[in-house]
C-alpha cells in the first residue's frame, strides 16, 4: 500500500485536511529559512493583502479563485498560531476554542438561555468606550458603519430611515453654506469638517436601509469605471481622442453609454 504521509506534512492520495495544513506550516517553520524568520509583526502586511484578495475573489464570483484566496488567508491564520505556539502563548486549538466560545456566546438563543439578543447590545455592557476594540486600520466607511452599529446597540439610533434622510439633506445644506457665491471656499477646514459630517450621515442612511456604504460605493466605483471605459472606447472607435473633446461632447458620450446599458 502506498504511504500517504510525507515528511513535508503533505499527502498523496487522500483528501488533504486542516491537520495536513497545520503539519505543513510547522514543517515550513522548521525547514524554510524565510518562513522561520517571520514574526507576528513581519506578517502584518500579508494578512491585510490576502483579505483584500479574498474580497476581490468574492466580487469576481469565481469559486476556484475564492477557494485559493481563502487558503492564503488560512495560511496566515496557521502561521500566526504556530508562531504563538512556539512562544508558548497559545496554539491553534486555543484559537479554535476561542472561536467556538465566542460564537456560542453570540447565539444565546441556540446555546444558552433561549433568549435572542442583539450582539451589539450584548457587547455594549463589556465596553467602556464606543470605539474600544475597533481596529485603527479599518477603512473609514466601514469604521463609520461599525461606530453607528455600536451606538444603536445602546439605543442611540433613529427609529427608521426618515431621520437619517433628513440629516443627509441638512448636511448638504451645511456644505453649501461653506461655498461663497463665486464657488470659492473661504474656510477649507470648515468645508472638510462639513463634508465629513455629510459622508457620516450618508453611511448612517445606508445602514438604516440595510445597505453597507462600503459595498454601495464599491459598486458605484465599478459602474463609473465601466462607463468611463465605454466612453473612451466609443471615442476611439470614432477616431477622436477623448481628452480633446469638450465637456459637452464627453457628456454626450456618457449619456450614450449609460443609455446603452
Domain-by-domain residue ranges, the chain? 38-111, 158-211, 217-260
Burial class (CB in 10 A: 0-12, 13-18, 19+), 52: exposed
Same fold, 38-111 and 158-211: yes
pLDDT tens, position by position, for the chain (261 residues)?
A: 344 444 444 445 689 999 999 999 999 999 999 999 999 999 998 998 999 999 999 989 999 999 999 999 999 999 999 999 999 999 999 999 999 999 998 899 999 888 887 877 777 778 889 999 898 888 999 999 999 999 999 999 999 999 999 999 999 999 999 999 999 999 999 999 999 999 999 999 999 999 999 999 999 999 999 999 999 999 999 999 999 999 999 999 999 999 999
CATH superfamily of 158-211: MazG-like (1.10.287.1080)
Question: What are the Cα distances from residue 216, in Å, to 49, 137, 148, 154, 208?
Answer: 21, 20, 17, 26, 14
Domain at 38-111: CATH architecture = Orthogonal Bundle (1.10)
User: In which element (H, E) is residue 123 found?
Assistant: helix 119-124
Tell me how far apart the alpha carbons of residues 76 and 140 are, in angstroms, rounded to a whole number: 24
pTM of the model: 0.72
Q: What is the dihedral of CA 254, 255, 258, 261, to 10 degrees?
A: -120
**Residue 84 near residue 96, CB atoms below 8 Å:** no
Question: What are the Cα distances from residue 82, in Å, to 8, 51, 86, 92, 182?
Answer: 16, 20, 6, 7, 62
Report DSSP state, residue 5: B
- Position 119 scores a pLDDT of 78
CB-based contacts of 163, cutoff 8 Å, min separation 6: none
Question: What are the Cα distances from residue 90, in Å, to 93, 94, 119, 236?
Answer: 8, 6, 27, 60
CA nearest to 79, candidates 26, 118, 31: 26
- Position 65 scores a pLDDT of 97
Tell me how far apart the alpha carbons of residues 165 and 171 are, in angstroms, rounded to a whole number: 10
Counting other chains too, the contacts that 146-154 makes at CB distance below 8 Å and 24 or more residues apart are 148/203, 148/204, 148/207, 149/120, 149/207, 150/120, 150/123, 150/124, 152/120, 153/118, 153/119, 153/120, 153/121, 153/123, 153/124, 154/121, 154/124
Terminal CA-CA length for the chain: 60
Amino acid at each position: 500500500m502506498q504511504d500517504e504521509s510525507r515528511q513535508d506534512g503533505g499527502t498523496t492520495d487522500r483528501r488533504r485536511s486542516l491537520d495536513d495544513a497545520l503539519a505543513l506550516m510547522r514543517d515550513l517553520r522548521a525547514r524554510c529559512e524565510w518562513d522561520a524568520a517571520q514574526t507576528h509583526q513581519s506578517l502584518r502586511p500579508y494578512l491585510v493583502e490576502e483579505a483584500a484578495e479574498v474580497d476581490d475573489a468574492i466580487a469576481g464570483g469565481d469559486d476556484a479563485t475564492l477557494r485559493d484566496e481563502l487558503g492564503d488567508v488560512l495560511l496566515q491564520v496557521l502561521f500566526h498560531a504556530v508562531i504563538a505556539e512556539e512562544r508558548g502563548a497559545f496554539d491553534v486549538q486555543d484559537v479554535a476554542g476561542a472561536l467556538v466560545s465566542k460564537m456560542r456566546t453570540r447565539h444565546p438563543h441556540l446555546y444558552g438561555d433561549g433568549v435572542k439578543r442583539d450582539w451589539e447590545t450584548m457587547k455594549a455592557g463589556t465596553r467602556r468606550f464606543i470605539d474600544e476594540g475597533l481596529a485603527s486600520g479599518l477603512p473609514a466607511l466601514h469604521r463609520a458603519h461599525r461606530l453607528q452599529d455600536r451606538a444603536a446597540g445602546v439605543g442611540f439610533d433613529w427609529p427608521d430611515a426618515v431621520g437619517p434622510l433628513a440629516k443627509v439633506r441638512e448636511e448638504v445644506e451645511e456644505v453649501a453654506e461653506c461655498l461663497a457665491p463665486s464657488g470659492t471656499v473661504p474656510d477649507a477646514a470648515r468645508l472638510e469638517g462639513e463634508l465629513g459630517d455629510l459622508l457620516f450621515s450618508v453611511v448612517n442612511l445606508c445602514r438604516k436601509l440595510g445597505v453597507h456604504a462600503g459595498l454601495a460605493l464599491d459598486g458605484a466605483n465599478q459602474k463609473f469605471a465601466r462607463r468611463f471605459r465605454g466612453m473612451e472606447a466609443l471615442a476611439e472607435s470614432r477616431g477622436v481622442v477623448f481628452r480633446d473633446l469638450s465637456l459637452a461632447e464627453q457628456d454626450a458620450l456618457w449619456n450614450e453609454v449609460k443609455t446603452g446599458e
